[in-house]
Amino acid sequence: MPNPIPVIVVGMGERASIYAREALSHPDLLRIVGVADVDPQKLRQAQNMFHIPDGHCFSSVEELAAVPRFAAAVINGTMDQLHVPTSLPLLRHGYDILLEKPFAVSQEEADRLLCCARETGRHVMICHVLRYAPFYRKIKEALTAGELGDIINIHMAEQVSFFHHSVSYVRGKYASPELCGSGMLLSKCSHDLDIMAWLMGNVRPLSVSSAGSQFQFRPEMAPEGAGSHCLLDCPIERSCIYSARRLYVEHPQRWANNIWRDYGSRAGSDEEKMRILSEPDQPFSRCVYRCDIPVVDHQSLLISFAGGATGTFSMNGGASASGRHIHITGTRGEISGIFEEQCFTISRIDPCAPEGRRLQMIDVSDLQKGNAHGGGDQAIVRDFVAMLRGEEVSSCHTTLEDSMTGHRLVFLAERSRERGGEVQHYSF
């Protein structure tokens, strides 16, 4: 068996932890030999989990880059605005990097990262894990096999559930560029635009236009009688779908749990959670309509591709349920499906069939196994290790140059939205 790749984790947050734990379940692939994080508690947790010596635990990237290189690669799971500033010194120090998306918060940052990777000859692989999910992987295989002929249009939509949107993008750490370094489209939907560009294959984008706004979470949309803080001055809190008590304590959902990790051991019992949420300066229990957030809650894009094909994408926050929808129209048929339903339908044009078409449902549930990313988190780690070993990588593998397309579309879409939908031309 080949030796495991020695890896350092920078930013021991939720995403990096998922990738790093592959070292525990697949010790033949990688071995975590170092960690850097500004949070002492996370440092200790990582140190204990992976048996890291004291000398390989760092409180900053600067400290890590100041010692001789002792690993082959880094998993960089820092916050969005830190991705490029932390990656540049690590690339120059000789590390290859598995970098969480979005990998940059501006086109200028993205260009600096690409330039540094080329200058140093190091690999940067972006965590576009949805490429590896069976749902999208099988759609890609169908398109590559010519099932639809030439693509005319790809329409995609991401519905962001009311609890996820309110917890993360209204009250949470993604509520403003000042907090997370990026807007809603970049922080939530860079996956989706990467998928669109990937499915289009070698057909390059030519232009993008976009419109969107903060429609729902504004003071004038607040229910009559609403206060400014759920648990301090709101007489209608018990009837509000965005009640902090309901979302965080009574019916905690998947994303709601994230805030309690920010408080460490402070958040234990429901009583303790209620006490924290009742603090006057507690951001997670502000009225969602009075948070004065700068990010949009819905946005739509129209993308023109070479040859005349088009792509359309919509992000809608505050939906009843989360869902990634896709509908692809080609010259020979269509593909449609919803990622969370773990299946899609191929509709092939057939003049001899009773309805003029033949339907085939592709069920990927056995492959996806109910996993949020369809096993993509684990698959991308395997591909990263294969790349470092010089082995064959999967068709889902993305280089930094590949990942640049989806990010550039986001940056152009944001510029278009800010300029009233003005068409932005895509340049290479």
pLDDT tens-digit profile of 327-369?
A: 999 999 999 999 999 999 999 999 999 899 999 999 998 887 7
Q: Is residue 236 part of a domain?
A: yes
d(C-alpha 156, C-alpha 145), whole Å:
21
Rg, the chain, Cα only = 23
pLDDT tens-digit series, residues 278-287: 999 888 899 9
> How far is the C-alpha of 8 from the C-alpha of 404, rounded, in Å?
25
CA distance 8 to 171: 32
Task: Report pLDDT for 265.
Answer: 52
Q: Provide the pLDDT for residue 84.
A: 97
Name the token pair of 351: 């003049």
CATH number, position 329? 3.30.360.10
CA within 13 Å, CB half, 227: 16
Q: Is the pLDDT of residue 272 over 90?
A: no
In a domain, 369, yes or no: yes
Judgement on whether residues 238 and 276 belong to the same structural domain of the protein: yes
Task: Classify residue 392: in a domain, yes or no.
Answer: no
The residue range of the domain holding 245 is 222-290
Residues 285 and 310 placed together within one structural domain of the fold? no
Same domain, 56 and 166: no
pLDDT at position 261, please?
63
Give the type of residue at 356: G
Q: Which residue has the tokens 């993604």?
A: 174
Looking at 126, 150, 184, which one is the last position of a domain?
126
Examine the domain organization and report whether 263 and 411 are in the same domain.
no
- The domain boundary, picked from 262, 290, 318, lies at 290
Three-class SS string for the chain? CCCCEEEEEECCCHHHHHHHCHHHHCCCCEEEEEEECCCHHHHHHHHHHHCCCHHHEECCHHHHHCCCCCCCEEEECCCHHHHHHHHHHHHHCCCEEEECCCCCCCHHHHHHHHHHHHHHCCCEEECCHHHHCHHHHHHHHHHHCCCCCCEEEEEEEEEEEHHHHHHHHHCCCCCCHHHHCCCHHHHHHHHHHHHHHHHCCCCCEEEEEEEEECCCCCHHHCCCCCCCECCCCCCCHHHCCCCHHHHHHHCCCCHHHHHHHHCHHHCCCHHHHHHHHCCCCCHHHECHHHCCCCCCCEEEEEEEEHHHCEEEEEEEEEECCCEEEEEEEECCEEEEEEHHHCEEEEEEECCCCCCCEEEEEEECHHHHCCCCCCCHHHHHHHHHHHHHHCCCCCCCCCCHHHHHHHHHHHHHHHHHHHCCCCCEECCC
Q: Give tens-digit pLDDT for 139-179.
A: 999 999 999 999 999 999 999 999 989 988 898 878 877 76
Q: 84 with 95, same domain?
A: yes
Given 239, 270, 290, the domain boundary residue is 290
Q: How many domains are there within the chain?
A: 3
Average pLDDT over residues 49-67: 97
- Mean local confidence (pLDDT), 250-266: 67
Dump strand ranges (E) for 248-342. Answer: 298-305, 310-319, 323-330, 333-338
Same domain membership, residue 143 and residue 210 = yes
Residues 336 and 187 occupy one common structural domain: yes
Q: In the numeric block, which tokens belong to residue 260? A: 């309690």
In terms of domains, do 342 and 205 share one?
A: yes
Q: Is the pLDDT of residue 254 over 70?
A: no
> Tell me, what's the pLDDT at 366?
87
Average pLDDT, the chain: 92
Tell whether 386 is covered by a domain.
no
- Higher pLDDT among residues 267 and 95, named by residue: 95
294: pLDDT confidence band, cut at 50, 70 and 90? confident
Residues 186-203 pLDDT 10s: 988 988 999 999 999 989
Q: Cα(268)–Cα(265) distance, rounded to whole angstroms?
A: 6
pLDDT at 136: 95
- Helix (H) / strand (E) element for 275: namely helix 270-277
Q: Which of 113, 149, 126, 95 lies closest to 330 in space, CA to CA?
A: 149
CATH number at residue 55: 3.40.50.720
Classify residue 59: in a domain, yes or no.
yes
Please name which of 142, 161, 179, 112 lies closest in space to residue 407, comparing C-alpha atoms: 112
pLDDT of residue 368: 74
Tell me what pLDDT residue 124 has.
97
pLDDT of residue 210: 98
Instruction: Give the CB-side neighbour count of residue 277, counting CA atoms within 13 A.
Output: 29
pLDDT at 412 (0 to 100): 96
Q: pLDDT at residue 404 above 60?
A: yes
Q: Which two tokens stand for residue 118?
A: 């080329």
Same domain for 405 and 349, yes or no, is yes
The set of residues, in sequence order, having a beta carbon less than 8 Å from that of 209 and lying 6+ positions away, is 301, 302, 413, 416, 421, 422, 423, 424
Q: Is there a contact between 259 and 164 (Cβ–Cβ < 8 Å)?
A: no
| 66 located within any domain | yes
In a domain, 297, yes or no: yes
Q: Residue 338's closest CA among 366, 365, 378?
A: 365
β-strands 30-36, 151-161 pairing: unpaired
> E strands along 112-241, which residues?
124-126, 151-161, 205-213
Q: Which residues contact 55 (CB under 8 A, 6 or more apart)?
A: none
In-domain check, residue 391: no
pLDDT of residue 293: 85
Same-domain status, 228 and 213: no
Is a pLDDT exceeding 70 seen at residue 109? yes
Token duo for residue 6: 């020695």
Note whether 99 and 161 are same-domain residues. Answer: no
Q: What is the pLDDT of residues 114-140, one digit of tens each?
A: 999 999 999 999 999 999 999 999 999
Share of the chain above pLDDT 70, in %: 94
Q: Let me know whether 106 and 141 are in one domain.
A: no
